Amino acid sequence: MSDLDGLAVIFDLDGTLVDSEPNYYEATRQMLAGHGVTDYTWAVHERLVGISTLETVMLLRDRHGLRPPVAELLAETNRRYLELARTRTRAYPEMRKFVELLAAEGVPSAVASGSSPEAIEAILAGTGLGAYLRTAVSADEVARGKPAPDVFLEAARRLGAVPADCVVLEDAAPGVAAAHAAGMRCIAVPYAATQADLLTTADLLLHGGQAEFTARAAYDWLTSL
């Protein structure tokens, strides 16, 4: 019997399980450049970490007065992103260890992400994490993206878990807010150090981000609940 009996773990994908933000930045930069916007910087992108691709495209379309419809810009961004994601996405080593440790202990685990179903599938397949994380929910499959709780509640439903028994791992403020709105506990591993102060409502906040996260420490924290 596992020390984690009754618990379920739900992972955000981008910036939490894998370092995909450079790919999202490049895909978004390429899309905007194709429509005449050439000043999209990493600093601007970093402020958008944590919201869905759809919401990012909508915001940037309005900000820059782009004429193509949102659906067209979203499809272009996703196409460019998928080309990068299939071969250039790196899983964080300690997160991979944590996923494997949970699987070995029989702990139900899932992914809940603002990315498209195609992007989630490509990343899980390309990194090999799909062998352990067979349940995945995209914000495209629910009514509202983060900070609404919909993706996390749907992940819990598919796992057959009660929300109060779920622990979420997140890297950005919208995800932490979504976890709490879902009635779940949250471990925050900030993608950007500058965002740590926005994640103080998390049940466990690792100010140092991925450099501070270890699979064993996360496991020990879960067993203390």
- Of 12, 14, 140, 171, which is the active-site residue? 12
Among 80, 89, 97, which Cα is nearest to 19's?
Answer: 89
Question: Can you tell me which residue has the tokens 């894998």?
Answer: 18
* 12 carries an active-site annotation: yes
**DSSP bridge partners of 138:** 113
**Segment 47-76, tens digit of pLDDT:** 888 788 889 999 999 999 999 999 999 999
**Segment 83-134, tens digit of pLDDT:** 998 888 999 999 999 999 999 999 999 999 988 898 899 999 989 999 999 9
Query: Helix-strand-coil percent breakdown of the chain, rounded to 5?
Result: 50, 10, 35
* pTM for the model: 0.86
**DSSP bridge partners of 91:** 18
* Type of residue at 53: T
pLDDT of 2 higher than 70 = no
Read off the tokens for 213. 């996260």
